[in-house]
Amino acid sequence: MMTSMHFADALTKRVKATSAVTVGLDPNLEKLPEGITRDAKGLLTFGTGIIDAVKDTASCIKIQMAYYEVLGWEGMKVFFDTCAYAKLQDLIVIADGKRGDIGPSSEAYADAYLSKNSPIDALTVNPYLGSDGITPFIDRAVKHEKGIFVLVKTSNPSSGELQDLPIGDEVVHEHLAQLVESWGAQCLGPATNLSCVGAVVGATYPEEMTYLRTLMPHIPFLIPGYGAQGGTAADVKHGFLPDGTGAIVNASRSIIFANKGRDWREAARRATEEMAGELKMR
Amino acid sequence: MMTSMHFADALTKRVKATSAVTVGLDPNLEKLPEGITRDAKGLLTFGTGIIDAVKDTASCIKIQMAYYEVLGWEGMKVFFDTCAYAKLQDLIVIADGKRGDIGPSSEAYADAYLSKNSPIDALTVNPYLGSDGITPFIDRAVKHEKGIFVLVKTSNPSSGELQDLPIGDEVVHEHLAQLVESWGAQCLGPATNLSCVGAVVGATYPEEMTYLRTLMPHIPFLIPGYGAQGGTAADVKHGFLPDGTGAIVNASRSIIFANKGRDWREAARRATEEMAGELKMR
């Protein structure tokens, strides 16, 4: 349990005890394995099964909220139940909701997902509205020893349309990275000197990642895009700090849908162990 | 009911029959009027009360999801129940969720809120991930005669931190506006020549709005920031097209919390009528 420990310190401790692997629970209903029903009950069976399969090797689970919201409030109930189950297994639980709004609404989102008794340890947030949409999340994170991961450079093909626009000598996501570093400087963990404010930096853009690491020395990176999206261990190498800490690497489809037949649990376990091995060799 | 009509045509028809007033249902639990319980049941009572009070004068209701999500899955159930109630009263229902993700996850969000049988007519979306995070929403909007409103220039004080960054001769939100116009050009309504792709443009930045109107001639504007945030009828004037269509104007706190005592319904009704009058005088 992560009680009474700064988020970045707890994250780093857990990564050292397990691996930097973050399993992305993106349970697309149409892709669920054989024998799982396409409904809220099926989502819970699948999610808890994946959690059981990966909990000894993965440090974190990142749960994509869209696949729960698509089932309405019943889906949201399963989302919270799945988060609670993952937390009980000592996984660090990241809600991938990419929330962000004007200040008062961001306060409500922060209270929704980063309250004291929430099973969620960290939330992904969208920076398009600027600092007054982000500050409420940081306030709750500091108060309740939670974390956030701000979208900086996302892993998808069109991420550059806004994020790579040139502004003077830099591009938008580099400018944002400096804001994130300054936001994060206010809440460093005593053990690691890393912030409770993290950044999402896609594995699919390794050159950008290398430079972003220099712009954000105190910021934990959540690196999506490993596996099915094309990122490799070599690509994510420079997202880590020189001492090997400071980053977690997310793979979703290559783990949770490693096998669509009856042995999907065992396939997910093996895929997680394989990825952990790849990351340790980097 | 808006069945079998393009979103922008239905929106325009409804605005002509009522007003451009969009009531922002932002039911901050701490601000609910006297006699309303601070729980899911209270949220439903308050939301349906506001809907009854404003339905004859307002064209649209914009429901801020954060204030429902803060009550977990019970809150989400009330959110959908409130949307369904508003839809039954012939209001155009805008879910203010500011969703946006990589393509496959945006597909799930689009299915969650813009499916055929959803009581929601339109969803606000965040463009930071670029076109492959937006396209799934447009696809569903086209297929099911729904709409989206893309955040372009938001009403909050720090919106400029990213949105106003200079890129060559323009700024980020102006560049985005041209993308939005191009995305929207593929789905114009036969009656209005306006798109099912809309844009959020804050009332608090009237000069920017005037220029954005020229960059997005086919895009309906959702203009937040009227009333409590400081926007006036003069400020929003240039968000409309020359024929007086093409925009809806949102006020939240100045309507729903016009009075915190027992006559909050009547106060909301009067505030809506007053705002409709101001907009007609513009």
Please, which residues have CB within 8 angstroms of residue A115's CB and are 6 or more apart in sequence? Answer: A140, A144
Do A168 and B166 lie within an 8 Å CB cutoff?
yes
Q: Are strands B60-64 and B21-25 parallel, antiparallel or unpaired?
A: parallel
Instruction: Dump pLDDT digits (tens) for B240-264.
Output: 999 999 999 999 999 999 999 999 9
% of chain B with per-residue pLDDT over 90 = 96
Cα nearest neighbour of B174 on chain A: A162
Å between B179 CA and nearest CA of chain A: 9
| Residues of chain B positioned with their CB less than 8 A from the CB of A168 | 166
Average pLDDT of the residues of chain B: 96
Q: Give φ, ψ of A218 to 5 degrees.
A: -105, 10
Residue B241 is given by DSSP the state -
Query: Which of B66, B77, B105 lies at the smallest CB-CB distance from A101?
Result: B66
Q: Which residues contact A52 (CB under 8 A, 6 or more apart)?
A: A89, A265
Pick from B74, B109, B130: CB nearest A69: B109
B215-230 pLDDT tens trace:
999 999 999 999 888 9
Q: Are A189 and A218 in contact (CB under 8 A)?
A: no
Compute the 3-state secondary structure of chain A and give helix, strand, coil in percent, each to the nearest 5: 50, 20, 35
Contacts of B199 (CB under 8 A, 6+ apart): B149, B150, B151, B152, B177, B180, B212, B216, B219, B220, B221, B222
Considering only alpha carbons, which residue of chain B is nearest residue A173? B162
A104 vs B28, B77, B162: nearest CB = B28
**Which residues does B243 contact at the CB level (< 8 Å), separation at least 6?**
none
| Angle, vertex CA A27, rays to CA A25 and CA A29, nearest 5 | 180
CB contact under 8 Å between A112 and B72, yes or no, is yes
For residue A29, give how far its alpha carbon lies from the nearest alpha carbon of chain B (Å). 9
Q: Of chain B residues 156-175, which have a CB less than 8 A from chain A?
A: 156-163, 165-168, 172, 175
DSSP string spanning A77-103? HHHHHHHHHHHHTT-EEEEEEEE--SH
d(CA B216, CA B214): 6
Q: Are strands B170-171 and B166-167 parallel, antiparallel or unpaired?
A: antiparallel
Cβ distance B130 to A106 less than 8 Å, yes or no, reads no
Q: Which two tokens stand for residue B281?
A: 């005088």
Q: pLDDT tens digits, residue range B163-208? A: 999 999 999 999 999 999 999 999 999 999 999 999 999 999 999 9
Q: What is the pLDDT, as a whole number, of residue B4?
A: 81
Q: How far is B243 from chain A (nearest CA, A)?
A: 31
Q: How far is CA B189 from the centre of its chain?
A: 18
Answer whether A84's CB lies under 8 Å from A90's CB: no
Torsion of CA B188, B250, B128, A165, to 10 degrees: 80
Alpha carbons within 13 angstroms on the beta-carbon side of residue B168 total: 4
Residue range B116-138: mean pLDDT, rounded? 98
Per the listing, tokens 């593929």 go with B186
A176 chain-B contacts, CB cut-off 8 A: 162
**The pLDDT value given to residue B107:** 98
Residue among B100, B112, B168 minimizing CB distance to A70 = B112
**CB pair distance less than 8 Å for A154 and B129:** yes
The residues of chain A scoring below 50 in pLDDT are 1-2
* Inter-chain CB proximity A160 and B99 less than 8 Å: no
Q: What is the pLDDT of residues B2-29, one digit of tens each?
A: 458 999 999 999 999 999 999 999 999 9
Q: List the domains of chain B with CATH numbers.
A: 7-281 (3.20.20.70)
Distance of CA B32 to the CA centre of its chain: 21
CB A244 within 8 A of CB A216: no
Cβ neighbours of A273 (radius 10 Å):
16
**ipTM of the complex, rounded to two decimals:** 0.97
pLDDT at A85: 98
Determine whether B31 is an active site residue: no
Nearest CA in chain A to B134: A158
Q: Residues 69 to 128 of B: which have CB under 8 A from any A CB?
A: 69-77, 79-80, 96, 98-109, 111-113, 126-128
Cβ separation of A126 and B168 shorter than 8 Å?
A: no
**What's residue B2's pLDDT?**
46
Element containing residue A215 per DSSP (H, E): helix A206-215
- B67 interfaces chain A, CB cutoff of 8 Å: yes
Task: Spell out which residues of chain A touch residue B163, defining contact as CB-CB under 8 Å.
Answer: 128, 130
Question: What whole-number distance in Å separates Cα of residue A124 and Cα of residue A202?
Answer: 13
- The per-residue pLDDT for B1 is 47
Cβ–Cβ pairs < 8 A, chains A and B: 177
Do residues A247 and A223 lie in contact, with contact meaning Cβ atoms separated by under 8 Å?
yes
Q: What's the confidence (pLDDT) of residue A273?
A: 98
The CA distances from residue A272 to A21, A223, A226, A253, B133, in Å, are: 7, 15, 12, 11, 27
The per-residue pLDDT for B3 is 54
**Annotated catalytic residue: which of A98, A143, A237, A260?**
A98
Q: Quick one: closest CA in B to A114, which residue?
A: B70
